[in-house]
Amino acid sequence: MGDQGQIWQVQSGGGQTVPGDGLAVSLPSGQTVTLVESIWNAPGPMGLVTRFRFLAPEINPATGSVGFDLAAQDIAWLCQNYALERVMTNGPLPAQVIVSLEDRPVAFGEADPEATQFFEAFRIEDGSCIWEVF
C-alpha cells in the first residue's frame, strides 16, 4: 500500500485518513465487503491506532444474512489477512488495530442510530492479530 498514489487527509484529532480503494473483499462468511477508509497513526490510550473501516451491507439485520457471530469471524479474518500485511509494511507498527464493519456509510466519529456497526480491536504480536477486549 504505502503512501504512493494515496491521498492522506490529516484528522483534527490526529492520524491520517486514506480513502478506500473500492475493491471487493470476499470473506469466510460468504459476504463481500469494501474498504471505506483506513485511519493511520491516530493516538489511542495504548499508543498509535490504525483503523480499517469496511462497508458490509450483509450485517443489516433486516435485509442481510450475516449476524454478529459470523461477522466477528470475518473481522478476525480481515485483521489477519488484510490489515496485518498493511500495518507491517507501512510506517510505525500500531499498538492497536481496529477493524469495523458497517451496513451503510457512516462518517467516522458520528452516530447513526439506524446503522448496524461491529468493531473489534487487536494487538499485533508475533506476526498475528490477537483479539483484545474493546
User: Which tens digits make up the pLDDT trace of 18-73?
Assistant: 999 989 999 999 999 999 999 999 999 889 999 999 999 999 999 999 999 999 99
Domain boundaries of the chain, sorted by first residue: 9-132
Alpha carbon 87 to its chain centroid, in Å, reads 12
Q: Give rounded-to-5 percent helix, strand, coil for the chain.
A: 20, 40, 45
Tell me, yes or no, if the pTM score tops 0.85.
Answer: yes
The Cα–Cα gap between 116 and 5 comes to 32
pLDDT at residue number 3: 43
Assess whether pLDDT exceeds 80 at residue 11.
no
DSSP code at position 73: H
The Cα–Cα gap between 89 and 124 comes to 13
Give the pLDDT mean for 4-19: 62
User: Which tens digits make up the pLDDT trace of 95-121?
Assistant: 999 999 999 999 998 999 999 999 999
C-alpha dihedral over 80, 40, 105, 45, to 10 degrees?
90
pLDDT at residue number 119: 95
Contact 75, 97 (CB under 8 A): no
Contact 91, 42 (CB under 8 A): no
Contact 53, 33 (CB under 8 A): no
